[in-house]
Structure 1
Amino acid sequence: MILDLLFPNRCIHCNRIIDPEVLVCDLCCNQIHFTHYDYFESNPITEKCKLLFPVEHTYALIQFEKENLSRNIIHELKYRSREKIGKILAEWVTERLDFKNHKPDLLVSVPLHPKKLKERGYNQLHLFTETLAEFYQIPFDHELIQRNHYSKAQALKDKKHRLAAGNAFSITKPITGKHIVLIDDVFTTGNTVSSIAWEILNAGDNKVSVLVMAVDA
């Protein structure tokens, strides 16, 4: 392709020319800090979530550390219109996460407010979620939860404002008796997933697990 010759895909870290379907070169891939969490074992996210709501299992793919490659990857996905990174991250998850005989019933991604969705042009979690759903053969629902208020990005808020998000989400349809995995990009305080989790838990006899691209340690 002429465009591939004129504008070759480059590693987002070292700028080396790489395959069009790859995010980083092999050398830089070694600099990504994967968590190596076990979905069925307790980890830092599990412990934080248990203080906020009844959680079943949790998983994070990478560490979201200051000034590291993992943070750059998430920022490229969210703020530089590189939606396809979501598919790559999901493929990395499938290489590391095995639900074994305990597959959840439904995958649900954190929604954007319609105004934010229009500004960004895409929800950075949708392709990620859909790729996981296809691989694991688990249904997904992008419409189950709606965001009620428009607000600036979590990364731009101070801690006080991140902790205050009452009534931020609501459930759009009846659902009961399901084990639902909530999917988000970065886990920080746990406030976002907690707000959604309580909506799901209060809707019926449901269970909630959490899966995120990255955890901000």
Structure 2
Amino acid sequence: MILDLLFPNRCIHCNRIIHSDLLICEICFEHIHFTHFDYFEENIIKEKCKLLFPVENTYALMQFEEKNLSRKVIHELKYRNREKTGKIIAKWVTEKLSFDDKKPDLLVSVPLHIKKEKERGYNQLHLFTETLSQFYDIPFDHHLIKRNHYSKAQALQDKKHRLKNENTFSLTRKISEKHILLIDDVFTTGNTISTIAWEILNAGENKVSVLVMAVDY
């Protein structure tokens, strides 16, 4: 295509010209710090979640470190209007994560407030979640959880404010006896995930697991 010739896709790290379906070149891909977590075994996210709510399994694809390439990947998705990055990250997950015969019943991503979603133009987790849903053959629901309050991005809030978590969530319908896989981009304090998890756990005999693109140690 003419546009591809005039404005070729480039690696977000080194600026090399790459295929239009890619985000990072093969050389830079080797510099991403993947966690190599086992979804069913103990890891730092499970340890933190257990202090906040009963959790079944947890998984993070990447380490979210200062000046880390994974941080640049997440920022491309959230702040640079590159929604398709979610599909690319999901593909990386499918190459590393297997649920074996213990798949969750439903994929649910952390919602944006309707005002925030309109400002950004998309929820950065939707295409990611839908891609996982298709690959693993697990249904998703983008509307099960509602964010009731609008606030500035968590990345722009100081740690003390994030811990207060003034945002509250609610269920839009009854749900019971389901194993829900909660999906978010970055796991930091676990406060947001915990708030949503308790809404789900208190609604009935449900179970909650967690999957995030990256974990901030």
Q: Partner of 1:195 in structure 2?
A: 195
Distance of 1:68 and 1:170 partners within structure 2: 34
Distance of 2:112 and 2:184 partners within structure 1: 11
Matches within 5 A, 1:1-217: 1-165=1-165, 168-217=168-217
Normalization by structure 2: what TM-score? 0.99
Instruction: Give yes or no for contact 2:151–2:167 (8 Å, CA) kept in 1.
Output: no
Q: Return the letter of the residue paired with 1:112.
A: L
Deviation at 1:98, TM superposition (A): 0.3
Greater Cα offset, 97-106 or 166-175: 166-175
Aligned-residue Cα RMSD (Å) equals 0.7
SS at match of 1:203: coil
Q: Deviations over 1:7-62 (max 9, x none)?
A: 00100000000011111011100100000000000100000000000000000000
Deviation at 1:167, TM superposition (A): 6.2
Normalization by structure 1: what TM-score? 0.99
Q: Structure 2 stretches of 5 or more lacking a match? A: none
SS at match of 1:97: coil
Instruction: Give yes or no for contact 2:41–2:57 (8 Å, CA) kept in 1.
Output: yes
Q: Return the letter of the residue paired with 2:70.
A: S
> Runs in 1 of length 4+ with deviation above 3 angstroms?
none
Q: Deviations over 1:91-143 (max 9, x none)?
A: 00000000001000000000000010010000000000000000000000000
Q: Structure 1 stretches of 5 or more lacking a match? A: none
Instruction: Give yes or no for contact 1:31–1:69 (8 Å, CA) kept in 2.
Output: yes
Deviation at 1:3, TM superposition (A): 0.4
The share of aligned pairs that are identical, in percent, is: 76
Distance of 1:167 and 1:88 partners within structure 2: 29
Instruction: Give yes or no for contact 1:10–1:18 (8 Å, CA) kept in 2.
Output: yes
Q: Return the letter of the residue paired with 2:113.
A: H
